[in-house]
Structure formats: C-alpha cells, structure tokens
Structure 1
Amino acid sequence: MTRSKLNYILIFFFFNLSNIFAQNKVDHAINYCEKQALNTLKSIPNDSLNIPRSIAEGEYNWRFVDYRDWCSGFWPGTLWYLFEGTHNPKFKTSADKFSRELSPLSMQKAFDHDLGFQIFNSFGNGYRLTGNEEYKKVILATADTLATLFNPKVGTILSWPRAVPNMEWPQHNTIIDNMINLEMLFWASKNGGSKRLYDIAVSHALVTMKNHFRSDYTSYHAVVYDKATGKKIKGVTHQGYADNSMWARGQSWAIYGYTMCYRETKNPLFLDFAQKVTDTYLKDLPPDLIPYWDFNDPGIPNVPRDASAAAVVASALLELSTLVKEPSKASMYREKAETMLSSLSSDAYQSRTTNNAFLLHSTGHKPAGSEIDAAIIYADYYYIEALLRLKKLKIGKSIYAPI
C-alpha cells in the first residue's frame, strides 16, 4: 500500500471517529454539567454534612456526607474540573471552599487508603489549576500519611486498617480501588516528597499485578495477605457478585490505575498490563458499552448497570489511546471511549430533570443493598474528567494541559 493511500485511509478513519461524539456535543455535555452543578450548589445545607454523595433511585435530593467519607473528594474535584471547563469563577470559589473542608485529613492518622480519592481529587486538581502552595503542602502531608499504611513485608498499602467482613483482620488486606490512590504518591515524590513514595507506589502496583488478577486478567476486589510473611492468603470480591466474578467498577479501577502507572513510570510492564485488563473488560460489554454492575451476574440483562464504571473506563481509555504504540489499537480505544461518552450523554443515562446529578444508573455496593441504580458523585467526577479529556484531544491539546 502506498503512503498516500495509507494517509487517506487514516484521515478517513479519524474523520468518522470524530463524529462518534462530535465537539459540539462534548461542549453541550459540559454545559449540561455546569447547569446541574450550579443547581446542586443552591441545595447545599449549611452544616457539616454538606458534601454531595448520592441520590437514591426515585429520589430528587442528594444524600450529604462530611469530609471523612471516602467520597468526599469527588465533589470539590468535580467543581475544579468545571472551573477548568467553563472558567466560571463561582466554581473556583466553591471548589476552594469544599477542598479546604478536607484539610484535617492531612493531619490525622490514616483511617484507610482513600486519602488519594479525597485529597488528590480535590487539592490535586486545585494545585494543577492554580499553583496554590497551600494546596501543595496538604497533598505532600497526606501522601506521607498514606505511606504509613505500607507494609514492606507484603509490598502493598493496607486498604482497611480495621475489621471488615471476610478480610481476616488483623491480616493485611488490599483492594483494587487502591490503585487509584497511587497517583498521589507518584505526584508527591516528584514535587518535593520522598523518593520512597515513588518506590511504595511501584511496589504496590507490581505486587497487585502479580496477586490480584486471575489468568483471564479479571480482578478480585480484595486480596488478603499474611501481614508477617507477605504470602497471599486468598482473593475475594467484596462488592461484586462472587469471588470469581468480574465486578465492573473493580475492573475499571484496574484499567485506570495501570494506565496511570505507565504514565508515571514509563515501565512497559504497566502499559502491557493496562491493555490486558482493558481488553478483557471491553470484549463482553452490552451494545451501548455501559456495563452491568457485575459481568457475571446470572440475572443479566435484568440487573442494574454501572454508569460509574463506564465513566472511569471512558476517561482511562482516552489517556490509554495516547500512550499505546499501535495506531490501530489507539484508535480502537479512542472510539470505544467516545461511544461510552455518547451513551452516558444520552437521555438514558443523564439525570437531567430527574435530579441535579450528572448521571443516573450507577451501582455502589449491591451485595450490601447500598446505592443500587443510583446517581453517585464519583460517576459525575469521572464523567466530567472524561469530557474535558476528550475536548482537549479534539482541539489538539494534551489531556494533561489545562484548557
């Protein structure tokens, strides 16, 4: 095939790809999120329980939590993204306010691994957009706090330093969600923190890669290790259908986490693994690419979807599409991400007048009967993140550069 013919094919392909979720639709979706968030700001209560977490199916009002909730960082993080995407100063003011409410987490003993979700989503995005040195100090202090949960005998961070059912406390447990919190350690190690933070993050990712996945690259939710020897005791799926099932959001954390690990380390092992866990997830999705809450629930198709997993994966795929070496695979990941965002932006998944969240149909902890087919704040966070990443790509910018 001649080079000119190949170039023609690539131009034709990318022209059609760009129309999966055209730029005007991306802008429309961001404007929609702006409107929804402004409505939420009007409903914030004037007390310590003032951070939106979820809206139950069939209800209109948010359930609010305080700064100690594991989801507390997603709301200020969403506001920072909206400030980036709209340049509306009201979002900057509100993002600063809600971020600062989380400051005590940087000065307290670690309750669990979620400090990355809480602090890096809030102060991390705030520092990225403003360069405020106060934010940097909070991030660095919190990274040191998170590092206190690292067990060198195991090689991972302890996720839940307390008794949790089926975790054989006081043995060492690590959950797949923890992959996301490594980003704060990587960042801190490169911005004034100890190199040990980088080493902890790499160790955690490598040990998790070895022990957390089955032969088909599906992930357990949690792995329990002997805290003294580091030996793997068992793999379980705490929030999924069964120990041997692929819980959708757990797999999404793996996709996002290993993509980020490659970005931060340039270790080709992580890029290869990110593709393996991604390809396993993509091959069994329903036509609209929004997963059922667990891929192996025998009740499919009459079971809840999980829009939050779709939002996480869409955002991760956009980044992964810029990192993989093979043009055809990069194009496939980009196409899948755009299709996911197109589905999430339809009337089937956007909340619109149902409530003030961005998205419907997320599933939190189905085995516990919690937040099933609900609107959940972390779905909104990764949705607006993905929209901004896609907008940047469509206008020829790096996904890491502010708009």
Structure 2
Amino acid sequence: MIQFGPEIDRTLLEDTLRFAERQVTNLIEKHPGFYPIYTKSGKWKHDGPAWTHWCDGFLPGMMWIFHRRSLENGENKQYWMDKAIEYSRPLEPRQFDRDVHDLGFIFLSTYYRWYQITREPRLNDVLVQAGKTMSLRFQEKGQYLRSFVSEDSIFIDIMMNVAVIFYAARETNDRRLRDIAIRHALTTRRYLVRGDGSTAHEGLFDLETGEFLRQTTHQGYRGDSCWSRGLSWALYGFGSCYEYTRDPRFLETAERCADYFLTHTNADGVPSWDFNAPEDTRKLLDTSAAAIAASGLLRLCRMLPDPVKGFYYWSSALRILKTLCEKHTQQDSSNWEGILQGGVYHIHKDLGVNESVMWGEYFFCEALEAALRHNLAQKKPNGSGKL
C-alpha cells in the first residue's frame, strides 16, 4: 500500500517541469518534425518498430502544457505556442482516421488544448469530427467500440478515448453520440472491470450474437491478471466519463480502480508492470502507469462528495509525483533524452522496456502542471499550507 511523506516540496515539481521543458526543447531541436514513441537506451531516434500509430498527440500536448504554464506564470512564452501549433497542425487529417481507437489521445491532448486558448471555431470542428469518426467503431452486437486489433475486440485503453465522443456529443447535442459513448463505457465496466477494481486489458465478443466470450491481454502478464497501465487507463477514463455524464456508476467504477491501484502498488506509488506478474519480473516497474494514475487521481479527487477520500486521492497523487521526480528523472544526466525513466511499452515484444515512453512523459507533465496550477502541492484542506 502507498505510504505518505509529511510534506511535498513545490519547488521539486516546478524544477521537474522546467527540466521537462528542456528535454522537449532538446528533442525538437535535435530531431525536428519527429514524433517519437519510446526511447531505446535513452535515445528517441532509433530503428525500433512502432507497433501502432497512436502517440503523435503527446509531444505537442506537452508543448501546450508548457504554454499554459507560461501564461499562468505571466511569462507568455510565444515559443511554446508556436511549436505546439507547428506540431499539432499535421495531425489534423487524422480526424478522419478509422484505423485506430486512439483519436482521444491524439486530439484531446492537442486540438482541445489549442481550442481552450484561442476559441477558434475550426479547431472545435476538428474535435467534433474526431469524435464522430471514433463513434464509427461502435458494434451494435456487444455494445462496444472495437479496438484496432479486430472487430471482436475491446481494449481498456479505449476508456481514455471515449471522451472525444462525449465531447462531440455535447458540442452538437447529438444524443446518438452520447448514447454510444455511454453504452461503450457500461460494456467496459461490466466485462473488463472486476469486482475488486482490477481490470483486464482486452475482452473478446462473439460477432454473431454479441455475447461476451473472455478476458485476454496483449501487454499484460495473462488474461486474468491486472496490467498496471490498463488499470490506470480505467481509473482516469471512468473519471472522465463521470465528468461528462454525472452518472454515479462511472464515479463508483473510477473509485474502485483507484482503490485497487493504491492498495496494491508499491509503497512509493510506482507499480510493477503487472500487479500479478511472476516474481522474476515483478521488480520491473512502469512509471508511465504511475504518471497516468497520478493525473487521474488529481482529477478524481475534485469530483468526490467525500472530502476525506478526496484528500486521500490528492495526497496519493502528490506522493506518486514526489517519487517520480526524485527517483525516476535524471536531471544531471545528458545521456538520457527522455524526461521520465522506467516506463514500459510492450514487454512481450521487447519494445520500450525500462525506457521513456511518450504517454508517460505527457501524463507526468499533465499531473505536474495540474498540481501546481491548483496549488495542491502544499495546500491542506484547512488552508494551513502544508500536507
């Protein structure tokens, strides 16, 4: 179970976010126009396979985070806005991409952040179209959004992408879009989230009848185990569903996933790559799962009606961030090009194992910025200024 320190150092979070800016600056200056997925021996540019094409939004997404941070600090660094636009704009044609289930990852990290700053209608049009395109993956028999793998497959990852459909539904008052998003979330809740709050990576359905067949996995240890990154996707994703719907079933599910994560992770908040991994690989951590969980907890804690539990989630997120900042970044090293070390992409394919991974970078920066923006790092509910 996670353990808490007595105080969080706000300066630590600020210094780490500045380090992240430096690392991203170095990346885009060294490899202009390059959208990486994972490092190899700490280097972004390599000949390793990508497997899927789903991470392009995370690099410009970090640039948008840096720009927003500069505005809040009164600096207004035009550099980051210019770079964010430069790297976001080439993604625009993918609003029509029907080959992936990751349009939320691609557009909520980029065009949504861009639109929040400028309010240009055309940016919102891109977001809405991405949501409509994503909805075309819906399988009436089975009531789910199919994964990129096959028509009979549902991934827990899709919970991070269904929000783009909710967004499109809200912007257009399209009840059908909203219904698709809700039905997918309920199907995922029923078949991929277990009673104890753990999650399966993938579920398979009978295409003829829509009957659910079994839980399985591509990246976890086995079909009935709990792959830690998938659990973090669920924690964050069901919280997002609750934000859009205020359906208490989604809040309850997000809480169950959060509670499983917090009671089964290591004491410092960084989990093994799979909570049920065998002893010989259990020491392999996944810092990207920790970063996603921290960001999800910071969102979730503000939705809870119970302030005590909200403070528990808040404190847990800050403890995770402290660990990541202190133990999993090497700010004095020029040899490692990433921000957050110790991430895992695909252990079975030996891709990005114990490396920096782009989603880990993005959600780490998102969590750092959220903690600083809401003054969570040193603020007690009673206003005393310390944890």
TM-score under structure 1 length normalisation: 0.86
SS class of match (1:101): helix
Residues 196 and 260 in structure 2, CA contact (< 8 A), matched pair in contact too: yes
Distance 1:290 1:245 in 2: 18
SS class of match (1:279): helix
| Corresponding residue for residue 100 of structure 2 | 112
Which of 50, 53, 61 is matched with 1:69 structurally?
A: 53
Is the alpha carbon distance of 1:100 and 1:234 closer, same or farther for their aligned partners in structure 2, counting shifts above 3 Å?
A: same
Distance 1:190 1:18 in 2: 41
Distance 1:177 1:100 in 2: 25
Residues 54 and 63 in structure 1, CA contact (< 8 A), matched pair in contact too: no
SS class of match (1:345): helix
Is the alpha carbon distance of 1:385 and 1:395 closer, same or farther for their aligned partners in structure 2, counting shifts above 3 Å?
A: same
| Equivalent residue runs for 1:222-233 within 5 Å | 222-233=202-213
Distance 1:302 1:234 in 2: 25
Q: Does 1:339 align with 2:319?
A: yes
Higher deviation after alignment, 331-340 or 113-122: 113-122
What is the RMSD computed on CA atoms of the aligned residues? 2.1
Q: Which amino acid aligns with 1:233?
A: L
Is the alpha carbon distance of 1:222 and 1:301 closer, same or farther for their aligned partners in structure 2, counting shifts above 3 Å?
A: closer
| Corresponding residue for residue 254 of structure 2 | 274
Which of 208, 219, 222 is matched with 2:199 structurally?
A: 219
| Equivalent residue runs for 1:255-294 within 5 Å | 255-294=235-274
1:276 to partner: Cα distance: 0.8
SS class of match (1:294): coil
1:63 to partner: Cα distance: 4.5
Q: Deviations over 1:319-366 (max 9, x none)?
A: 1111111222111111110000001111x2014323232100000110
Is the alpha carbon distance of 1:293 and 1:302 closer, same or farther for their aligned partners in structure 2, counting shifts above 3 Å?
A: closer
Q: Does 1:322 align with 2:309?
A: no
Residues 218 and 277 in structure 1, CA contact (< 8 A), matched pair in contact too: yes
Q: Does 1:195 align with 2:175?
A: yes
Is the alpha carbon distance of 1:212 and 1:395 closer, same or farther for their aligned partners in structure 2, counting shifts above 3 Å?
A: closer
Distance 1:25 1:149 in 2: 43
Distance 2:241 2:46 in 1: 33
| Corresponding residue for residue 92 of structure 2 | 103
1:174 to partner: Cα distance: 0.6
| Corresponding residue for residue 328 of structure 2 | 349
Q: Which amino acid aligns with 1:33?
A: A
Residues 92 and 126 in structure 2, CA contact (< 8 A), matched pair in contact too: yes
SS class of match (1:25): helix
Looking at both structures, which has the greater relative contact order when contacts are Cα pairs under 8 Å and sequence separation is at least 6? 2
| Corresponding residue for residue 5 of structure 1 | none
| Corresponding residue for residue 119 of structure 2 | 131
1:34 to partner: Cα distance: 1.4
Is the alpha carbon distance of 1:104 and 1:213 closer, same or farther for their aligned partners in structure 2, counting shifts above 3 Å?
A: same
Higher deviation after alignment, 375-384 or 125-134: 125-134
SS class of match (2:82): helix
Aligned length: 365
Residues 30 and 85 in structure 1, CA contact (< 8 A), matched pair in contact too: no
Q: Deviations over 1:290-310 (max 9, x none)?
A: 011011111257632111000
Q: Does 1:364 align with 2:358?
A: no
SS class of match (1:283): helix
Residues 81 and 385 in structure 1, CA contact (< 8 A), matched pair in contact too: yes
Residues 106 and 141 in structure 1, CA contact (< 8 A), matched pair in contact too: yes
Higher deviation after alignment, 297-306 or 269-278: 297-306
Distance 1:69 1:154 in 2: 26
Is the alpha carbon distance of 1:212 and 1:189 closer, same or farther for their aligned partners in structure 2, counting shifts above 3 Å?
A: same
SS class of match (2:353): coil
Higher deviation after alignment, 285-294 or 307-316: 285-294
Is the alpha carbon distance of 1:62 and 1:200 closer, same or farther for their aligned partners in structure 2, counting shifts above 3 Å?
A: same
Distance 1:314 1:113 in 2: 23
| Corresponding residue for residue 374 of structure 1 | 355
Which of 109, 120, 145 is matched with 2:133 structurally?
A: 145
Q: Which amino acid aligns with 2:63?
A: L
| Corresponding residue for residue 89 of structure 1 | 78
Residues 150 and 158 in structure 1, CA contact (< 8 A), matched pair in contact too: yes
Is the alpha carbon distance of 1:259 and 1:300 closer, same or farther for their aligned partners in structure 2, counting shifts above 3 Å?
A: farther
Residues 58 and 109 in structure 2, CA contact (< 8 A), matched pair in contact too: yes
Distance 1:301 1:367 in 2: 12
Q: Which amino acid aligns with 1:35?
A: R
| Corresponding residue for residue 43 of structure 2 | 60
| Corresponding residue for residue 225 of structure 2 | 245
Residues 42 and 356 in structure 2, CA contact (< 8 A), matched pair in contact too: no
| Corresponding residue for residue 25 of structure 1 | 12
Q: Deviations over 1:136-182 (max 9, x none)?
A: 1211111111111111222111112xxx4xxxx5x521100000101
Is the alpha carbon distance of 1:174 and 1:37 closer, same or farther for their aligned partners in structure 2, counting shifts above 3 Å?
A: same
Distance 1:75 1:292 in 2: 25
Q: Percent identity?
A: 28
Which of 123, 148, 156 is matched with 1:176 structurally?
A: 156
Unpaired runs of at least 5, structure 2: 71-75, 378-387
Distance 1:227 1:189 in 2: 27
1:20 to partner: Cα distance: 3.0
Distance 1:225 1:301 in 2: 31
Residues 59 and 355 in structure 1, CA contact (< 8 A), matched pair in contact too: yes
| Corresponding residue for residue 156 of structure 1 | 144
